[in-house]
A and B are shown apart, each in its own frame.
Chain A
Amino acid sequence: MPEQWTVTLRIYRQKTNEPSRYDTFTLEVNPDEYILDAIERVWAFHDRSLCFRHACHHSTCGACGMRVNGVEKLTCITTIRSVARPNAVLTIEPLRNFPIISDLVVDMGELYRKMEAVEARAVLPITEAEIEKPPHQWKTEDSQYVRLSDCLECGLCISACPVAATSQPYLGPAPLAAAQDHRLDRRPDLLTLIDSEHGVWRCHSAFECTAVCPSFVDPGRRIMDLRKQTISAKIRHFFGK
């Protein structure tokens, strides 16, 4: 018999031109279920008008990013046990810093446009990827292999970033991490955008992006590395190289 907990989901609700409110739903759950499972149960058995995004249920699509008790989580891989105790109230809210379309669904268009602006790669040659224990020397034929980029484009980093909360034009952690992935010595054409007012220098080193990233992109570290790349590129440019 699986363990059973009673938890209350306090879910943010907002439809177009209506004021926001919180609805509460008390459920019997297995604590090893995921937050997304509980939200789906609310939709299935309590309120069919609840809007939320989900697709793959295994942290590949990045659709189910939400705030759970104020912290950004990919709800398909966040167990109830990891964020709650028996009889707990779980507050579920949409991601911050994106326009709300309905309830827990936000408009991610701005993030996707910024990812396109830096020409973020969905796949990259394995020889250019940051992987655990890479070989000392890649073979020529290895360059034919590609791997998926780590970034799910889930938007958790944008929601957690304090600078993104107050500056809409700021590129933000995921697009800057995608630019770092290119390397400015291979893509000097990105320098103007990265070195702009809303680029890499706008980050204020809170490292919240790294803390909430569900996919080990580590955007904070990549942004710092991108600063190094930017300085190197500008020095090279200064000496006409």
Chain B
Amino acid sequence: MNNQPAPQRLLSWFNPLGRNPGSWAFILNRLTGLGLTMYLFLHLMVLGRLAQGPEAYEEFLALTKSPLIKLGELLVIGAVIYHGLNGLRVVLTSFGLGVRRQVQMFYLSVLLALVGTAIFAFRMFAG
């Protein structure tokens, strides 16, 4: 009967119901990782427009001034800060450092990512 481990059960990784902060960190790490990978591809595609000449690139740059794209950029900034800080948390705990404080380190990573994103948001929209 189907209750065995299987690669197809990948989606269960993203179910936060009944789970603990360690799992929320795990889920958020994967979501931000996937998001940043997608962003990297988009970034390379945009840079590829340089090969189509200055007009094509300028046309895209005009598009980046839209609020929707700016919101997307903010998400990228938040994802970069969280993913980097959580990476440090994982490295530290993997060396046996702060294992009993891993939940607090997760909350700190989220807090710093929110503060960092807010600072960038202020500079982008009001600065």
A interface, CB within 8 angstroms of B = 14, 16, 20, 69-71, 94, 96-100, 106, 160, 162, 164-168, 170, 204-208, 210-211, 220-221, 224-225, 227-228, 231
Answer yes or no: B4 CB below 8 A from chain A CBs. Answer: yes
Q: Is the interface of B mostly helix, strand, loop or mixed?
A: helix
Q: Are B96 and A164 neighbours in the complex by a CB distance under 8 Å?
A: no
Stretch in contact with the other chain, from B20-28, B34-42, B43-51, B56-64: B20-28
Q: Are A99 and B20 neighbours in the complex by a CB distance under 8 Å?
A: no
**B22 to chain A: closest residue by CB:** A207
Q: Are A221 and B1 neighbours in the complex by a CB distance under 8 Å?
A: no
**Which A residues lie within 8 Å of B9 (CB)?**
165-166
CA distance A204 to B22 in the complex (A): 10
Q: Are A168 and B25 neighbours in the complex by a CB distance under 8 Å?
A: no
**Which B residues lie within 8 Å of A69 (CB)?**
18
CA distance A221 to B99 in the complex (A): 6
Q: Are A166 and B10 neighbours in the complex by a CB distance under 8 Å?
A: yes
Q: How far is the CB of B34 from chain A (nearest CB, A)?
A: 14
Q: Are B1 and A207 neighbours in the complex by a CB distance under 8 Å?
A: no
Q: Are A99 and B4 neighbours in the complex by a CB distance under 8 Å?
A: yes
Asked if A206 meets B96 with Cβ closer than 8 Å, knowing A100-B1, A165-B12, the reply is no
CA distance A162 to B26 in the complex (A): 9
**A159 to chain B: closest residue by CB:** B3
Q: How far is the CB of B4 from chain A (nearest CB, A)?
A: 5
Stretch in contact with the other chain, from B75-83, B87-95, B116-124: B87-95
